[in-house]
Amino acid sequence: MRTFEKSSKLDHVSYDIRGPVVAQAAAMEAQGEKVLKLNIGNPYPFGFSAPKAVLDEMVDRIQSSQGYSDSKGLSEAREAILSYCKKKNLPNVGCEDIYTGNGVSELISIAMQALLNDGDEILIPAPDYSLWTASATLSGGNVVHYICDEKSDWYPDLDDIRRKITDKTKAIVVINPNNPTGALYPREVLEQIVQVAREHELIIFCDEIYDRLVMDGLEHVSIASLAPDLFCVTFNGLSKSHMVAGFRLGWMVLSGNKEIAKDYIDGLVLLSSMRLCSNVPAQSVVKMALDCIDSTKEYLCPGGRIYEQRECIYNALKAIPGISVVKPKAAFYIFPKLDTERFHITDDEQFALDLLREKKVLIVNGSGFNWPNPDHFRIVYLPDVELLKTATDRLADFLSTYRQK
């Protein structure tokens, strides 16, 4: 009988939401067990909701959203995004440079497909949001990971970036604020990355989906605003800042020196029209969503849920012997380090499975984010403080006796 195998292009792709740990959690739930899930960055199931005005807008606009839109998106949505780009000082952007997508996810995949020929190199951070590595790999690119340095607040290691550039390197990806570390990069670090990109004529891709989820009075700077002479592609969307991940609405903005990328832009236009357009009802709420841009601010200040949950998880993790952790400044992720010698850990996936089986706590092991050593894991701190405390109590108890080998 004829059988079908997956494309060999998928052989070297790892993507964090799949894999044996999640499969094991699903099997346990199917048996009626209750798993504490600290693994998915989806705000809605944890009691976060979109601003009412955004939900009402979707209801009001559904009737008129039945047809396809222009393949880049409704002009009303793109004009609203353009105003947002102006606030963030993105240089040389017009409505025609803005593409809406079914989430940032779809646009990452389009951006990589349009760019990479087999063997082209692209610099992607480690740890990364692994869709970037997966999309670049599937597009035929060779991903070269540069290290973000835990000892420097998880900022990109500029020397490592410089060391890894070759004549095949086409672009560098910057994820700021970062998933999974929760780091926010200061202007000086971004300027240094721009300088390297300038010297080596690299495209900068910047994933800024968490730019409105910043704490401690800090300000997010768009790297594209520092690079008017370079070609930059900036990604953003409503999934996180407006808690509407299910609406699937993201956007991508081309800025700076577009002259050097004319041919690449032709590719983007082609791929974007091949998928006809992004979800039109979701596009129809973009203007309203960007009008209530401050809707999440209350979560991020002292007394607000995300802020207090960060304090809770950070303090609880810090108190566990054998764990060290950098305090995140943005988004809702934390990426603690395990003392692998103390726990004899050589396999972080095994650690995640053991924790799940024994304590019913689901986290994502660091290698799911292309982190090269078996010594990290990511916690999503969207669940409320009570659940986070239960989970960290169980983790502390588990680690008090855990020895992998």
Which residues of this protein are in contact with ligand PLP, per CB under 6 A? 41, 103-105, 129, 175, 179, 207, 209, 237, 239, 245, 250
Give the residue with the Cβ less far from ligand PLP, 105 or 234.
105
Give the residue with the Cβ less far from ligand PLP, 129 or 377.
129
In angstroms, the CA 277 to CA 136 distance is 22
Residue recorded with tokens 């082609």: 270
Give the residue with the Cβ less far from ligand PLP, 211 or 359.
211
Find the shortest distance in angstroms from Cβ 245 to ligand PLP: 5
Residue closest to ligand PLP (Cβ) = 103
Pairing outcome for strands 169-175 and 203-207: parallel
- Supply 14's token pair: 């790892």
Give the residue with the Cβ less far from ligand PLP, 105 or 272.
105
Give the residue with the Cβ less far from ligand PLP, 69 or 239.
239
Give me the amino acid identity at 162: R
Q: How many CB atoms lie within 10 A of CB 337?
A: 17
Find the shortest distance in angstroms from Cβ 400 to ligand PLP: 32
Find the shortest distance in angstroms from Cβ 106 to ligand PLP: 7
Find the shortest distance in angstroms from Cβ 387 to ligand PLP: 20
Query: What DSSP line would sit under 258-324, residue for residue?
Result: GGGGHHHHHHHHHHHHHT--S-HHHHTTHHHHHHTGGGGHHHHSTTSHHHHHHHHHHHHHHTSTTEE
Give the residue with the Cβ less far from ligand PLP, 44 or 398.
44
Element (DSSP H or E) covering residue 60:
helix 52-61
Could you give the angle at which helices 103-115 and 131-138 cross, rounded to 10 degrees? 30
Least Cα distance to 380 among 244, 240, 251, 248 occurs for: 240
Find the shortest distance in angstroms from Cβ 129 to ligand PLP: 4
Distance from chain centroid for Cα 127: 11
Find the shortest distance in angstroms from Cβ 284 to ligand PLP: 17
Give the residue with the Cβ less far from ligand PLP, 233 or 399.
233
Find the shortest distance in angstroms from Cβ 207 to ligand PLP: 5
